């Protein structure tokens, strides 16, 4: 289309609502969507999910998962490659989809798969790479992940096949969406179609830039809001998607986000919505009207990432050398407690000592996303190697296990960065968005090298899924059933989950984190306790039997105990 605006004509651009595009998004394509449905698509159903709090999210990039020569995948870097089953590493370890299924997560969060502008889809030399946070067409798929980028219907069919395969494997699919800005500004389909309407502007008339990418979307305007809602509805219905992660959600207005929630509830109320409750810069739109983390109380069943917990566990995200609780830094104990209860209100937390938030910001645990690493910044393994360079590989593994145990035993939604379960490294790169496969790919040889770590994380996931006490539904339940143990020592946090919380078969569960390089002592309730997790092993069947009230916990470790009576009642 070309549009006449008063005295001038726009550049030729595809329709803003285009559902398919040709190579590199230069042309819109009219497509019969029914013809793109793979076999048995009409019978595709979402895997069962009782409550949002039951989600365990695994964040991944389509290409990263399969591009390595060690992946054993045939169609590497593509939707179909991720849909391939029965793939193995040279050491005969499961890779790709089979690995994700083996790990036991509930949701696969895919970095942007809509059509973005930063790669030449027709180039097959393998030298290009991008995460895709530069949207070009919001309603069309990225041809880079298709076997034929020239035919828009190919990418649609192949992505539907991936979704269908994941659903059959019991895995829900989350789409990473970037409605806060576009890759192009003046050249974008929006600005060419309706100049000055889709974007916010600074007082001097220039494009405002809360995204840090040159522009920001004016989501509060009626037709922009309607466009975003229409787009989300389309992805959820046409592609059967199960969740949406909003990039820089703090740029979007609260009313738009709540209308998205209401729209998705008419399709399936268990569809996840969560996002980054911050911006990449200042916005002219008022802070109190935007979906910032500290406004989460005004969001309806929409989650925000907890940077409080992330940085308390590993140290500040922007400092290579700053340490956190898991790497031996004192002073984060109240921040860890804040993370344990999912940023909700709890009578035993001194909010003055929480690192960022001086008051609870989440209305319920399922509106808090707990994580220690993601695609942004260093991988956890690299962060630990840089911040604790004197640590041995063995000690670094203990820190990695402790950090992941904290995420997986806290209230809220846990999110794991792909490969964190096998010590993924990006060779100390902190911002790999456009770096080559050699930096970004998952090296599947790591799985056999760090099989103990993989088994530990897999078992923690199994423990969480088996015991609803780690997945309480309300703030009131957390305050009632979760009690912190008194401790006079730094780098030691313990808590008791009691009275069959959330109808858990176990009556009392003790969880203790020791971030110190030294063994530490703590007082626990009297009685006999069954150890189900220590720093090396997680086993629902029990590891050992101990008695309170005096307990010593190993250096750099997590200890999980269950009262003997209820443990054996469930055996």
Positions annotated as catalytic residues are 247, 276
Q: Which two tokens stand for residue 571?
A: 């055996």
Residues 378 and 529: their CA atoms lie apart, in Å, by: 38
Residues 561 and 567: their CA atoms lie apart, in Å, by: 10
Q: What are phi and psi of 513, to 5 degrees?
A: -110, 130
Residues 460 and 533 sit within 8 Å (Cβ to Cβ):
yes
Q: What secondary structure does DSSP assign to 65-112, as a single string? A: HH-SGGG--SSTTSHHHHH--S-B-TTS-B-HHHHHHHHT-SEEEES-
Q: Which two tokens stand for residue 276?
A: 């980054």
Residues 97 and 102: their CA atoms lie apart, in Å, by: 9
Q: Which two tokens stand for residue 298?
A: 């005004």
Residues 72 and 89 sit within 8 Å (Cβ to Cβ):
yes
Residues 31 and 19 sit within 8 Å (Cβ to Cβ):
yes
Rg, C-alpha atoms of the chain:
24
Residues 121 and 151 sit within 8 Å (Cβ to Cβ):
no
DSSP letter at 54 equals G
* Residue 124 Cα to chain centre, angstroms: 30
What are the residues facing 370 on neighbouring strands?
414
Q: What secondary structure does DSSP assign to 371-436, as a single string? A: -S--SSS--HHHHHHHH-TTS-HHHHHHHHHHHHHHHHTSSSEEEEETTGGGT---TT-S--TT--
Q: Which two tokens stand for residue 28?
A: 């819109």
Residues 536 and 452 sit within 8 Å (Cβ to Cβ):
yes
Q: Is 51 exposed, middle or buried (0-12, 13-18, 19+ CB in 10 A)?
A: middle
What are the residues facing 367 on neighbouring strands?
none
Cis preceding-peptide flag for 348 (omega within 30 of 0)? no
Helix, strand, coil tally for the chain in percent (to 5) = 35, 15, 50
Contacts for 116 with CB less than 8 Å, ≥ 6 apart: 130, 132, 133, 134, 135, 136, 142, 183
Residues 384 and 428 sit within 8 Å (Cβ to Cβ):
no
What are the Cα distances from residue 448, in Å, to 423, 429, 454? 11, 23, 9
Residues 569 and 89: their CA atoms lie apart, in Å, by: 41
Q: Which two tokens stand for residue 55?
A: 């989600």
């Amino acid at each position: 289309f070309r549009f006449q605006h008063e005295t001038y004509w726009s550049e030729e651009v595809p329709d803003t609502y285009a559902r398919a595009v040709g190579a590199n998004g230069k042309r819109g394509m009219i497509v019969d969507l029914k013809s793109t449905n793979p076999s048995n698509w009409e019978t595709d159903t979402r895997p069962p999910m009782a409550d949002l709090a039951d989600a365990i999210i695994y964040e991944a990039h389509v290409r990263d998962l399969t591009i390595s020569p060690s992946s054993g995948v045939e169609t590497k870097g593509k939707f179909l490659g991720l849909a391939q089953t029965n793939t193995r590493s040279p050491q005969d370890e499961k890779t790709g989809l089979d690995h994700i299924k083996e790990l036991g997560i509930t949701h696969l969060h895919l970095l942007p798969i809509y059509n973005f502008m930063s790669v030449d889809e027709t180039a097959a030399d393998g030298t290009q790479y991008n995460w895709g946070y530069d949207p070009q067409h919001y309603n069309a798929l990225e041809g880079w992940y298709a076997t034929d980028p020239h035919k828009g219907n190919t990418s649609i069919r192949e992505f539907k096949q991936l979704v269908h395969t994941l659903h059959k494997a019991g895995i829900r699919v989350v789409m990473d969406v970037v409605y806060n800005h576009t890759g192009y500004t003046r050249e974008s389909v929006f600005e060419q179609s309706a100049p000055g309407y889709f974007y916010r502007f600074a007082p001097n008339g220039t494009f405002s830039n809360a995204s840090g990418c040159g522009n920001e979307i004016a989501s509060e305007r009626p037709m922009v809001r309607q466009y975003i809602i229409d787009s989300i509805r389309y992805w959820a219905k046409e592609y059967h998607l199960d969740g949406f992660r909003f990039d820089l959600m703090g740029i979007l207005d609260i009313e738009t986000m709540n209308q998205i929630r209401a729209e998705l509830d008419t399709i399936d109320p268990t569809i996840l919505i969560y996002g980054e409750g911050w911006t990449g810069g200042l916005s002219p739109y008022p802070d109190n009207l935007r979906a910032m983390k500290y406004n989460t109380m005004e969001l309806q069943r929409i989650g925000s990432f907890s940077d409080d917990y992330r940085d308390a566990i590993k140290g500040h995200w922007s400092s290579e050398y700053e340490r956190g609780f898991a790497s031996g830094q004192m002073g984060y104990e109240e921040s860890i407690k804040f993370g344990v209860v999912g940023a909700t209100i709890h009578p035993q937390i001194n909010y003055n000592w929480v690192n960022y938030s001086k008051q609870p910001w989440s209305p319920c645990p399922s509106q808090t996303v707990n994580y220690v690493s993601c695609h942004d910044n260093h991988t956890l393994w690299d962060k630990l190697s840089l911040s604790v360079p004197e640590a041995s590989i063995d000690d670094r593994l203990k820190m990695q296990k402790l950090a992941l145990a904290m995420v997986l035993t806290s209230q809220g939604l846990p999110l794991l960065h792909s490969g964190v379960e096998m010590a993924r490294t990006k060779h100390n790169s902190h911002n790999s968005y456009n770096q080559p496969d050699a930096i970004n790919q998952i090296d599947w040889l790591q799985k056999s090298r760090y099989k103990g770590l993989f088994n530990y994380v897999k078992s923690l996931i199994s423990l969480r899924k088996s015991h609803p006490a780690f997945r309480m539904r309300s703030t009131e339940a957390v305050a009632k059933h979760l009690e912190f143990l008194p401790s006079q020592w730094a780098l030691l946090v313990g808590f008791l989950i009691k009275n069959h919380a959330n109808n858990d078969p176990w009556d009392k569960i003790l969880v203790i984190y020791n971030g110190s390089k030294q063994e530490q002592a703590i007082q626990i309730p009297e009685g006999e306790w069954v150890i189900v997790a220590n720093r090396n092993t997680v086993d629902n069947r029990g590891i050992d039997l101990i008695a309170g009230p005096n307990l010593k916990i190993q250096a750099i470790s997590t200890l999980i105990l269950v009262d003997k009576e209820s443990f054996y009642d469930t055996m």
